[in-house]
């Protein structure tokens, strides 16, 4: 089998490398020449654990190649996957489908034979039909099967998620697309992964419904955590007691400063807009979006309140600014709301993140970056944990105490044990714990 992956981002590059690992002949194409040049030189454009090794091995074995030339990528391909971005469209909150439609048109023009055009990007219901219309318009001469194959991998554990997914969803209209997609995912049959073949519309909606449900679950436990603080309960005990109920499940019940990232914020918004347009609003999802946005702003207020009324000129060390650990992705990270609010209030912010590649250009210039966690907290009045990188858990409280000027810790990810931090002399607060 031979495939082309259009877009060498988090999804395209990981999926392309994983399909190559499955034994498929893969060409990953991107319009960004720096990205492709870097990949030719063995440099990864993103940080994802294990990706450099997986790419290097498959390049060496000749199954994985990179190009900026669409015709080279598409030539002789059994299937072409679109893995381009679908960010929020400025002004109305809908998904911006311009990259998807442009790529679909370019692929159809470049096609040199029948192929399956698969949308892996997260796209609203109806996009597949539009892609079909584009293909018919551009290439009335060629049978192009359009399919949907939403991706569920998580940044930070993307390779494992792709290789051992809970399920594969394929939205198909015809037997040929079904056959090609089932063959591509055949290695997963060995581990008995369910492959769900549904309509294109259902596949498109599954992805949004799943993300909106997870975003709502996080938002739910965040509000319960706030209530715990008021009534003297411990949110971890509450979450455990809830999660052991098989109907609820234990995952995604960890409180924090509000969800961020490249998917949940834009996907919840796009789903809300799609539903409004369809005359069937998803009010629960609309509430989730509103509650989550307000939460991020409230976290900044909470930090300022902890610093006291004379917070201007105080020094705050922030550990972790990416939207979650094990990624360098800054898209919609809570830090993008919280740090500018601190800077605007006159607070001096020093940040540390193990993967700061995209952080510097995303945050206000006034935010200083430190090379280590300990150097970030040096002389700080307060320490805020925004992202739960594992290395923060291992920081010895006495070293933190010795390095800091003040004693305030706001642990917005609950990485430390409250009793241990109080015993070390900190004024410690976390989320939803007494």
Q: Which residues bind ligand NAI (CB under 6 A)?
A: 6-12, 29-32, 35, 83-86, 99, 102-103, 106, 121-122, 151, 153, 155, 262-263
Residues 6+ apart with CB under 8 A from 160: none
Give least dist CB 29 to ligand NAI, A.
Answer: 6
Give least dist CB 67 to ligand NAI, A.
Answer: 10
Give least dist CB 139 to ligand NAI, A.
Answer: 17
**Euclidean distance between CA atoms 187 and 388, whole angstroms:** 34
User: Roughly what angle, to the nearest 10 degrees, separates helices 264-277 and 283-307?
Assistant: 140
Is residue 426 within 8 A of residue 408, CB to CB? The reply is: yes
- The sign one gets for the Cα dihedral 159, 163, 165, 171 is positive
**Euclidean distance between CA atoms 160 and 119, whole angstroms:** 21
Give least dist CB 233 to ligand NAI, A.
Answer: 33
Q: Of 80 and 377, which has the nearer Cβ to ligand NAI?
A: 80
C-beta nearest to ligand NAI: residue: 9
CA distances from 4 to 86, 116, 381, 403 (A): 19, 10, 52, 52
359 backbone dihedrals φ, ψ, rounded to 5°? -70, -45
Q: Of 49 and 418, which has the nearer Cβ to ligand NAI?
A: 49
- Closest by alpha carbon to 385, among 337, 329, 330, 316? 316
Give least dist CB 258 to ligand NAI, A.
Answer: 18
Give least dist CB 153 to ligand NAI, A.
Answer: 5
- Rg (the chain; Cα; Å): 23
Beta-sheet strands, E only, within 112-167: 115-119, 144-148
Q: Of 106 and 429, which has the nearer Cβ to ligand NAI?
A: 106
Q: Of 102 and 424, which has the nearer Cβ to ligand NAI?
A: 102
Q: Of 210 and 424, which has the nearer Cβ to ligand NAI?
A: 210
* Both tokens assigned to 83: 């893995």
Q: Which of 18, 135, 228, 263 is catalytic?
A: 263
Q: Of 160 and 243, which has the nearer Cβ to ligand NAI?
A: 160
Is residue 29 within 8 A of residue 4, CB to CB? The reply is: yes
**Euclidean distance between CA atoms 355 and 362, whole angstroms:** 13
* Both tokens assigned to 371: 């090379």
Query: Catalytic residue at 263?
Result: yes
Give the helix/strand (H/E) hosting 351: strand 348-352
Is residue 333 within 8 A of residue 323, CB to CB? The reply is: yes
Task: List, by residue number, the catalytic residues.
Answer: 263
């Amino acid at each position: 089998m031979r495939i082309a992956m259009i877009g060498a981002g988090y999804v395209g590059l990981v999926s392309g490398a994983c399909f190559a690992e499955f034994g498929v002949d893969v060409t990953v194409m991107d319009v960004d020449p720096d990205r492709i040049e870097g990949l030719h030189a063995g440099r990864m454009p993103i940080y994802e654990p294990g990706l450099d090794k997986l790419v290097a091995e498959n390049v060496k074995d000749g199954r994985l190649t990179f190009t900026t030339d669409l015709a080279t990528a598409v030539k002789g391909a059994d299937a072409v996957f679109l893995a381009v971005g679908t960010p929020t469209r400025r002004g109305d909150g809908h998904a911006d489908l311009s990259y998807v439609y442009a790529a679909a048109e370019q692929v159809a023009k470049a096609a040199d034979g029948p192929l399956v055009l698969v949308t892996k990007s997260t796209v609203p219901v109806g996009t597949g039909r539009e892609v079909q219309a584009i293909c018919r318009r551009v290439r009335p001469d060629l049978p192009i099967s359009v399919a949907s194959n939403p991706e569920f991998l998580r940044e930070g554990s993307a390779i494992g998620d792709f290789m051992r997914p809970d399920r594969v969803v394929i939205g198909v209209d015809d037997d040929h697309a079904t056959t090609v997609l089932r063959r591509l995912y055949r290695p997963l049959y060995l581990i008995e992964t369910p492959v769900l073949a549904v309509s294109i519309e259902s596949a498109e909606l599954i992805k949004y419904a799943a993300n909106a449900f997870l975003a709502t679950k996080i938002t739910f436990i965040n509000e319960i955590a706030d209530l715990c603080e008021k009534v003297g309960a411990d949110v971890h005990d509450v979450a455990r007691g809830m999660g052991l109920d098989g109907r609820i499940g234990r995952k995604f019940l960890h409180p924090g400063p509000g969800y961020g990232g490249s998917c949940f914020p834009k996907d919840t918004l796009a789903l809300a807009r799609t539903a409004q347009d369809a005359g069937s609003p998803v009010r629960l999802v609309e509430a989730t979006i509103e509650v989550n946005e307000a939460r991020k702003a409230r976290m900044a207020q909470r930090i300022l309140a902890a610093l006291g009324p004379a917070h201007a000129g105080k020094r705050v060390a922030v550990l972790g600014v990416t939207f979650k650990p094990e990624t360098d992705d800054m898209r919609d990270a809570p830090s993008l709301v919280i740090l500018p609010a601190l800077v605007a209030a006159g607070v001096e912010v020093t940040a540390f993140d193990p993967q700061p590649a995209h952080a510097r250009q995303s945050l206000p210039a006034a935010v200083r970056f430190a090379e280590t966690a300990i150097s970030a907290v040096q002389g700080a009045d307060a320490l805020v944990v925004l992202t739960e990188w594992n290395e923060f858990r291992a920081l010895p409280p006495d070293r933190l105490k010795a390095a800091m000027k003040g004693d305030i810790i706001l642990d917005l990810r609950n990485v430390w044990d409250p009793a241990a931090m109080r015993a070390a002399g900190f004024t410690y607060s976390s989320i939803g714990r007494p």
